[in-house]
Amino acid sequence: MFFIKECKTKAGFTATPKKRLKLNMDFVRKNFEVLQDAGIVIVLKVDGEEVIVKEYGELTVKTTKDKKKIMSIAKKIYGVK
């Protein structure tokens, strides 16, 4: 489905889909609190954390290092139950 790894800069974590995908950004906008919207990149507030969402599916979380929480957030955004 997806994997989580520490950012190259060690400033946070990324969740990346194992298979190439294009997120439905309209779904993201409608279902999560949007802080900033640049079209193909959206900054959200999910479960108290800031999440950078890229249209090709990569998620970046810099406000927590809790992998279980990041996994939960990623599942919500990717629509995984």
22-60: pLDDT as tens digits: 999 999 999 999 999 998 899 999 999 999 999 999 999
Q: What percent of the chain clears pLDDT 70, i.e. is strictly above it?
A: 99
pLDDT higher than 70, residue 81: no
Q: Token digits for 69?
A: 């929480």
Q: Going by C-beta distance under 8 Å and a sequence separation of 6 or more, which residues neighbour residue 68?
A: none
Residue where the block lists tokens 């890229």: 54
